[in-house]
Chain A
Amino acid sequence: MDLNVMEHELVPEHYLLSEKETEGVLAELKVEKEQLPKIKKNDPAIKFLERSLGETIEEGRVVKVIRKSHTAGFFVAYRVVVER
């Protein structure tokens, strides 16, 4: 089926962070990568990113998720890509 889930209203925006950006985020949050919430490598959002960027996203990369929030309007979260 030719459905792009990213266009659905309930699916938040995902952005792949560069290694440098990742370091910045981790430094600001003062956390190790393992302490970030996770996203599966086979998540439709990651697959979409891979298709649109034309590269494979390895385990350990971090994506920035911007979603609508009841309380804060918009909210930024980070997720680390994991195998399963």
Chain B
Amino acid sequence: MMAMRGVTKRVRAIKFALLSPDEIRRMSATKIITADTYDDDGFPIDMGLMDLHLGVIEPGLRCKTCGGRVDDCPGHFGHIDLAMPAIHVGFVKELKTLLQATCRSCGRLLLTKEEATSFLEAAKRAGALSTANEAIGSIQLMKLTAKAATKRQICPHCSAEQMKVTLDKPTAFREDGHKLTPKEVRERLERIPDDDLRPLGINPDIARPEWMVITALPVPPVTVRPSITLESGDRSEDDLTHKLVDVLRINQRLRENRDAGAPQLIVEDLWELLQYHITTFIDNQTSGIPPARHRSGRPLRTLVQRLKGKEGRFRSNLSGKRVNFSARTVISPDPLISINEVGLPVVAARELTVPVHVQDYNLDIVKDWVQRGPEPVGENGKYMPGVNYVIRPDGRRIRVTDKNAETVSEAVELGYIAERQLVDGDIVLFNRQPSLHRMSMLAHEVRVMDGKTFRLNLAVCPPYNADFDGDEMNLHVLQSEEARAEAKVLMRVQEHILSPRFGGPVIGAIHDHITGAFLMTFGGSSFNREETAYLLSLLGDRPLPKPDIKVEGEPHWSGRLLFSTILPKDLTLTFRASIGSIGEDVEESTVSIVNGKVISGVVDEKAIGAFKGKIVEKIARDRGSEAARQFIDETTRLAMGTIMLKGFTTGIDDEDIPEEAKREIAEVLDRAMTEVTNLVQAYKAGELEQMPGRSLEETLEVEAMKKLGRARDDAGQIAGRHLGLENSAVIMARSGARGSMLNLSQMAGCIGQQAVRGERLSRGYWKRTLPHFLPEDLGAKAKGFVTSSYKSGLRPTEYFFHSMGGREGLVDTAVRTSRSGYMQRRLINALEDLKVMQDGTVRNTSRTIIQFRFGEDGINPMRSVGGDAVDVDDVLMEVLGPEAVKAGKLPKREMAGYGAQERDFLVEIADDAEALGDEDGGNL
């Protein structure tokens, strides 16, 4: 049989049927009778498990069935004729149903003709049998019919009394306690007439029930169970072959004993052993029997194990495949490379290649590359690309080595392909799992560098959700010109600064970059000539601007002036900074940029941060991705430069507050706890006033929670009074770089009430949370109020309560991620082949309309402003100028659409993540 190539057909339907023994023998290339595999010369034995009729796995040999060589022969099935029949484990459920639903004597379905027809008709009406061709058309139908039939005690056709058939797992059937041999089972099934099978949902033309009892066992081709030759020269057989050997041995012994008229007991034992081997050949994890094991104790991997589960054929080989031209390693940061770039270790660059087709214009260049050999270095040991393989026009691959480089180079001519090692500027795809959105896989330009990690700019961490606590990422080298062009246009990092999820930036400053920008622009900070020159040098060749202030007679440059140098010259923008909501001076909290000059305000998260950065968003939207990329790159450099000049650190003393404040906090907390005690007393005395719609207990809980919540906030306020913007931790929290004021007040002031499911803690012992309290103590301390701060440390009971609350958080995140992951996978599988057509409709592959207009409004969310097509305020400002807008002061638009919601959601998530702390531990 020649393999057909280039013939494509559309699969309209798939029909599942059972293999009949006849069919098994017909498709069999040879009968297998001997358990031996190879003779002494290592040659396959005829009618053995490695018979050459079953296909070839060794080069040089030819298949005795089709005459093909290793790569041409697809392999052919053989078969084993079983001395005695055996039950197929995969069908025991169906077999049990059939035995119970049919007569033990005449084989008819235990229903009258009318009853049977009514079941069949009902199923047809319900549309359960849409294709009459299915072998087992409707499991539902089989269940219903069988249920009714099983209830019959007397056969309506021959009046024979029925007995109870039970399944003795995994494969033995009993009738009233007597064992039914597979042979008896098979005989019974043979007696069921075709017409009685249809109401059971079985199509007898392609699935006779007796075929579920095996008499001829198909032997898989050797190509699916190849033997491997170890270095020692020993041959090692596949697990399936091992199992087939067992089957053949026992089958042989069973036949001999049976023919010799051995005692029934011996024959039965062997028969059961044969059943065991056939069961484990199919499924080696059948419950109720010990799995067949290797000599080493490892369980064998048989048919079902090859298909099932994560490592099975479906999930491991069909849904996901391994690829060439890819690399994986740990990632680490490099603020000096562009967001568009990725730092690639030399070792990886030498291994990964791009095919270069030899043309007229590059013949000499390619010859030169090849001649350099596979590991060329330039001056000072600088990396130079070499060529790993040369592919001749006839498809032969020649490995280039130092020895043959010269000769191979000479042989290179038009039509050759050289696999060139990567150089700076090559386009690659970069990816971090879990790939939850399209920004999880972006195109980067290669920068070959020393070291063994992939380097990336910190501003691209948010879309990948990457950090550097051991995260690894994958890199794929594109192999065709078209792929590279597409990737560069569609997948480049700079094209994804604005997210389609919520029409705002996903790429932007994080952590120290925000701190750096803050230090640069806050409180009239300035730089002397030397510092200014250093900062500007980071941006390349920039003219030194005129100094705008004098400090102690020396010319100084203000941070705002320096930051302005990287802003587009005609940028005008006003917004509130992240730092100042609480009683801050308006000058610092309102950022005003006029014609590319920062007039007032500090540059912080709201200006340049990922997700929130107004400047990034404005530049990306109005001036395009290239301008935005340049802005982000330069911000990174300036911020890193500044933070290194100014210095920045945080430590436990950032949470120090004066003794007096501590006393004040203790007083506030004491007062709140006393109030709760009073509430509890009022409740116990029956004097508590019930809240409408709430029980007395609920009223108490709500009131107590309110009081204690306020106490925690007050404690935070008191602590906050002593934590000013000279404090590094506060700078980080207020500028949006990391942490929140809540985190700080919990560290310095009071941790507050611990809760499980939104309620004060109540579980544990009888009427109390811990044995340290009296039963029925409803006071603050007994129900999880933690007065200590993280810095002062927790009391043992507090620690326990805190762990309870903390555990709930962990469980929630674990449950949430697994559930939302599964939900997302189903969603993606359902939507993956939909696309937006030229006419704006969303259609599937058969061009059926799914949505008449994308998103119903036809708006590309990536180009939207927080989900809306047009930002009216912004347009007005552009047209009328900032003064007009200020004078007119438009009413705040009602936030509508998913954009607004998404933003709120993001804030929540960010807070959550911060509250939990981001340590990955062993869980990268």
> Which residues of A pack against B, CB within 8 Å?
29-31, 34-37, 69-72, 75-78, 84
The answer to whether B849 touches A29, judged by C-beta atoms less than 8 angstroms apart, is: yes
> Which residues of B pack against A, CB within 8 Å?
127, 839, 841, 843, 846-850, 852-853, 855-857, 859, 867, 896-898
The answer to whether A71 touches B857, judged by C-beta atoms less than 8 angstroms apart, is: yes
Q: A35 and B852 in contact (CB under 8 A), knowing A71-B857, A84-B127?
A: no
The answer to whether A69 touches B857, judged by C-beta atoms less than 8 angstroms apart, is: yes
Q: A75 and B853 in contact (CB under 8 A), knowing A35-B847, A35-B848, A84-B127?
A: yes
Contact partners of B896 in chain A: CB under 8 A: 70
The answer to whether B852 touches A77, judged by C-beta atoms less than 8 angstroms apart, is: yes
The answer to whether A76 touches B127, judged by C-beta atoms less than 8 angstroms apart, is: no
Q: Nearest chain-B residue to A71 (Cβ)?
A: B857
Q: A75 and B848 in contact (CB under 8 A), knowing A29-B841, A70-B897, A84-B127?
A: no
The answer to whether B856 touches A35, judged by C-beta atoms less than 8 angstroms apart, is: no
Q: A76 and B859 in contact (CB under 8 A), knowing A70-B897, A71-B897, A84-B127?
A: no
Contact partners of B856 in chain A: CB under 8 A: 69-72, 75
Q: Nearest chain-B residue to A76 (Cβ)?
A: B852
The answer to whether B859 touches A37, judged by C-beta atoms less than 8 angstroms apart, is: no
Contact partners of B867 in chain A: CB under 8 A: 71
**20 A-B pairs, CB-CB below 8 angstroms?**
A31-B847, A31-B849, A35-B843, A35-B846, A36-B848, A36-B849, A37-B849, A37-B850, A70-B856, A70-B896, A70-B897, A71-B855, A71-B856, A71-B857, A71-B859, A71-B898, A72-B853, A72-B855, A75-B853, A84-B127
CA distance A63 to B452 in the complex (A): 63
CA distance A56 to B597 in the complex (A): 71
Q: Nearest chain-A residue to B843 (Cβ)?
A: A35
CA distance A75 to B847 in the complex (A): 21
CA distance A30 to B847 in the complex (A): 11
Shortest CB-to-CB span from B335 to chain A, Å, is: 39
Contact partners of B850 in chain A: CB under 8 A: 37
Shortest CB-to-CB span from B109 to chain A, Å, is: 29
The answer to whether B839 touches A35, judged by C-beta atoms less than 8 angstroms apart, is: no
CA distance A31 to B852 in the complex (A): 11
Q: Nearest chain-A residue to B855 (Cβ)?
A: A71
Shortest CB-to-CB span from A75 to chain B, Å, is: 4
Across chains A and B, which 6 residue pairs bring their CB atoms closest together, nearest first? A72-B857, A71-B857, A72-B856, A75-B856, A69-B856, A35-B848
Q: A30 and B839 in contact (CB under 8 A), knowing A35-B847, A71-B897?
A: yes
Q: A78 and B852 in contact (CB under 8 A), knowing A29-B841, A71-B857, A84-B127?
A: yes
Q: Nearest chain-B residue to A75 (Cβ)?
A: B856
CA distance A78 to B839 in the complex (A): 16
Contacts A37-B850, A71-B898, A72-B857 supplied; 6 other A-B pairs, CB < 8 Å? A29-B841, A31-B849, A35-B846, A37-B848, A69-B857, A71-B855
Q: Nearest chain-B residue to A31 (Cβ)?
A: B849
Contact partners of A71 in chain B: CB under 8 A: 855-857, 859, 867, 897-898
CA distance A69 to B839 in the complex (A): 20
Q: A35 and B849 in contact (CB under 8 A), knowing A71-B897, A84-B127?
A: yes
Contact partners of A75 in chain B: CB under 8 A: 852-853, 856
Contact partners of A84 in chain B: CB under 8 A: 127
Q: Nearest chain-B residue to A38 (Cβ)?
A: B848
Residue among B850, B855, B859, B898 having the largest count of chain A Cβ atoms under 10 Å = B855
The answer to whether A70 touches B848, judged by C-beta atoms less than 8 angstroms apart, is: no
CA distance A36 to B846 in the complex (A): 11
